[in-house]
Amino acid sequence: MPVRQGTISVGVRTRNLSTSRLNFIRQLGATDVFVDHADTDEEPDEFNDRTASYTVEVGRGTIPSAEELTEAREHVEEHDLTLRGIQSLPYSLYGDIMLGREGREEALEQIKTLIRNLGEADIPILGYQWNPRGVVPMRTEPVELRGNATGTAFDLDEIDNPDEPVLDHEYTEEEFWDNYHGFLKEVLPVAEEAGVDLALHPVDPPSIESIGGIPRLFRNVENFEKAMDLVPSDNHGLKLCLGCFSQMGEDVTEVVRRFGESDDIVFIHFRDVVGAVPQFHETFVDEGNFVTADVVRTLEDVGFDGVVIPDHVPEMEGDDDWRHRARSFTVGYLRGVVDTVTSE
């Protein structure tokens, strides 16, 4: 297979688009930003002036207009950065669709409106997930890392009654696939028309078929391949979370090659863990199950042309809520590895 030439850039995800936050991101040498939506239902926040806390509100009944999104993009660009997309849809928008509940038609229309507005605002990516919320904790007790830093962890043995149904209806995997297929048939034509790429994230933790009577569709490589084939589209791909595939016990370089060669990677969550489901913990980007340079070299081999961003990072001494010190370390480390590999 001929090698395609790609460009790997390093960005960040942030909810806060304040001037001070964007200045800091540019000072790190990052070039791209994915905005973490501020969901008005799930994560109520105070929205102050731009110098203190500038956010993009996305939630049920709160869809930013094309004008608001354009303003956000231009604000980011004023700091010599590129606003690549919205990091993820909130559960308040996709939950009823995933579960086939009343309200799903309204939610679908709001998601379509969001996609159209992103396209009109020239913001090219919308991340999303199909992750049941409130069923099982994403993480259990944290662990201590080097120098007394703190990393999140997961141990299935610490989850009480994981097989006990949590809803009145116990869903089958077939139902979940039907609901997901219907979602794709509705939104992908809109994404194609708007010029927006949708990027699917794994469930976290992965590998587990069902918890609380709710299937976890995007738990393995095979189900991601099925997702890409259900409604084939050049505007549909993966928010390839390396940490999640590492948690599956997969060879992450082979996963990157598999989806990179089919051009199914939209952007990358770059993190790693030690161990795999049913027991793992997150760690620094220079430790863990895979070798960072090997993954970046594979991205270069398959001609990946996109952004890698730190996802979850440990908590370091003196970190703020955004974990600015650990995120800074990760950005710097990734920039160094990317520069080294791409100059070989």
- The class level of CATH for 8-342 reads alpha beta
- In three-state secondary structure terms, 12 is strand
For residue 53, what pLDDT is reported? 67
For residue 140, what pLDDT is reported? 87
Show me where the domains of the chain are located.
8-342
For residue 226, what pLDDT is reported? 97
pLDDT tens per residue, the chain (344 residues)?
333 345 999 999 999 999 999 999 999 999 999 999 765 444 434 334 444 568 899 999 999 999 999 999 999 999 999 999 999 999 999 999 999 999 999 999 999 999 999 999 999 999 999 988 766 668 888 999 999 999 999 999 998 888 888 888 889 999 999 999 999 999 999 999 999 999 999 999 999 999 888 999 999 999 999 999 999 999 999 999 999 999 999 999 999 999 999 999 999 999 999 999 999 999 999 999 999 999 999 999 999 999 999 999 999 999 999 999 999 999 999 999 999 999 98
**Alpha helix segments (H runs only) across the chain:** 19-27, 66-77, 91-99, 104-120, 173-194, 221-230, 242-247, 252-261, 292-301, 324-342
Identify any residues that bridge with 76 across adjacent strands, giving them in sequence order. none
For residue 149, what pLDDT is reported? 98
For residue 269, what pLDDT is reported? 98
196-218 per-position pLDDT tens digit: 999 999 999 999 999 888 999 99
For residue 136, what pLDDT is reported? 64
116-160 per-position pLDDT tens digit: 999 999 999 999 999 887 666 688 889 999 999 999 999 999 988
| pTM flag (> 0.85) | yes
Residues whose CB is less than 8 angstroms from the CB of residue 338 and which lie 6 or more positions away in sequence, other chains included: 8, 9, 10, 296, 308
String of DSSP letters for 95-159:
HHHHHT-TTHHHHHHHHHHHHHHHHHTT--EEEEE---SSSS-S--S-EE-GGG-EE-EEEGGGS
Q: What single-letter DSSP state applies at residue 46?
A: -
Closest by Cα among 336, 252, 339 to 300:
339
Residues whose CB is less than 8 angstroms from the CB of residue 311 and which lie 6 or more positions away in sequence, other chains included: 13, 241, 243, 269, 270, 271
